[in-house]
Amino acid sequence: MLVLGLETTCDETAAAVVSLRSDGSGVILSNEVFSQIAQHAAYGGVVPEIAARAHVEVIDRLTGRALATAGIGLSDLSGIAAAAGPGLIGGVLVGLTTAKTLALVARKPLLAVNHLEGHALTARLTDAVPFPYLLLLASGGHTQLVAVRGVGDYLRLGTTVDDAIGEAFDKVAKLLGLPYPGGPPVEREAERGDPERFGLPRPMLGRDRPDFSLSGLKTALRIEAEKVAPLTGTDVADLCASFQAAVVDVVVDRTRVALKLFRREVGHPSALVAAGGVAANGPIRRALARLAGEAGLKLVAPPLDLCGDNGAIIAWAGLERLRLGLADDLTAPARARWPLEAATAA
């Protein structure tokens, strides 16, 4: 089985080819990613029109490179997958339309993949993790705790009521004059800062439902920053360390509650899985590993190059669906909004 995956939901254009191992895990034969960070950096965030135009300019070349690196042609593919949402609709249309065109020309099955399902199933690509497992999906646009019971079978246990974790990192970075995207620079500054200098809140801590809220934490950091302005380098580092420590505490507490809920409503999880861009954060990964160990579970987090948006996770989600005999026709819509729990395998 060979599946081409295209990803254009935000500010990365990506194409990859994935195949299937005998143990049920995947082999990434190519994984080409073109990042648009430079084009959006001046704006402190992603500009949808710029993103869509950039996707159009590189998608054909990137797809050709992914096939060439894998050493195959279109005729060798078992199917062609594209992220059909959720995301910036202009970008989603670019990848989905390209996939439809290739599927029509090559007479191959089309797989219109939910981008979040790509993240949800990454642990099966890398580690062949059996169902069911608890997933923390945390990125710039999404923060969810999900019971992954099977392909197309997802039960959302908790979510954020306002900002996503990655979004909060981006906004804190912008407030403190750090570059976009905010996750890596905030983490770097936090390494040299004092996490106890600023007493920031831990929103939702101890609540019996595993939901998140980050806007109050972000506001509290802004108030502390205004108190000590103008900011020195030490101030910035201490603010980043205090913010990151608060996020880690919240993530661990919310995930612990989700584990209890999972056991009550689903059964025993095979693993604790972290996915999405925020899963690349070192302190968060280490804290989740400790929590998993306490719960008698293994933490499965993807390699750093699979944490962000990429074509390999889309190709794999398409392959998982194709194995079940699922495919989409050429009327499959592009969707700006598409909850993971709605990505059924029916």
Question: Can you tell me the distance from the alpha carbon of 62 to that of 59, in angstroms, rounded to the nearest whole number?
Answer: 5
- How much is the pLDDT for 14? 97
Verify that 159 and 294 share a domain, yes or no.
Answer: yes
CATH number, position 27:
3.30.420.40
Instruction: For residue 323, give the nearest of 344, 341, 303, 345 by alpha carbon.
Output: 345
- How much is the pLDDT for 285? 96
- How much is the pLDDT for 23? 80
- How much is the pLDDT for 238? 98
Instruction: For residue 173, give the nearest of 281, 254, 309, 275 by alpha carbon.
Output: 281
Verify that 151 and 113 share a domain, yes or no.
Answer: no
Per-residue confidence of the chain (346 residues) as pLDDT tens digits?
999 999 999 889 999 999 998 887 899 999 999 987 777 777 777 888 898 999 999 999 999 999 999 999 999 999 999 999 999 999 999 999 999 999 999 999 999 999 999 999 999 999 999 999 999 999 878 999 999 999 999 999 999 999 999 999 999 999 999 998 899 999 999 999 999 999 999 999 999 999 999 999 999 999 999 999 999 999 999 999 999 999 999 999 999 999 999 999 999 999 999 999 899 999 999 999 999 999 999 999 999 899 989 999 999 999 999 999 999 999 999 999 999 988 876 5
Centroid of chain to Cα 12 = 12
CB 301 within 8 A of CB 275: yes
Verify that 195 and 284 share a domain, yes or no.
Answer: yes
Q: How many CB atoms lie within 10 A of CB 276?
A: 28
Verify that 138 and 287 share a domain, yes or no.
Answer: yes
Verify that 45 and 62 share a domain, yes or no.
Answer: yes
DSSP for 155-220? EEEEEBSS--HHHHHHHHHHHTTPPSS-HHHHHHHHHTS-TTSS----TTTT-SS--B--HHHHHH
Verify that 165 and 264 share a domain, yes or no.
Answer: yes
Amino acid found at 281: N
* C-alpha distances out from residue 260 to 149, 158, 265, 275, Å: 16, 12, 9, 20
Output the six-digit token pair for 319.
Answer: 């392959």
Verify that 233 and 155 share a domain, yes or no.
Answer: yes
CA torsion sign for 221, 183, 336, 321 is negative
List of long-range contacts for 70-74, beta carbons under 8 Å, 24+ apart: 70/2, 70/17, 70/29, 70/30, 71/29, 72/2, 72/17, 72/29, 74/102, 74/105, 74/106, 74/108
Question: Can you tell me the distance from the alpha carbon of 244 to that of 92, in angstroms, rounded to the nearest whole number?
Answer: 32
- How much is the pLDDT for 345? 66
- How much is the pLDDT for 36? 79
Q: Whole domain around residue 298: which residue ranges?
A: 130-304
Verify that 192 and 294 share a domain, yes or no.
Answer: yes
Verify that 36 and 16 share a domain, yes or no.
Answer: yes
Question: Can you tell me the distance from the alpha carbon of 170 to that of 193, in angstroms, rounded to the nearest whole number?
Answer: 18
Question: Can you tell me the distance from the alpha carbon of 268 to that of 146, in angstroms, rounded to the nearest whole number?
Answer: 14
Verify that 233 and 288 share a domain, yes or no.
Answer: yes
- When divided into structural domains, the chain yields a total of 2
Verify that 287 and 329 share a domain, yes or no.
Answer: no
Verify that 139 and 228 share a domain, yes or no.
Answer: yes
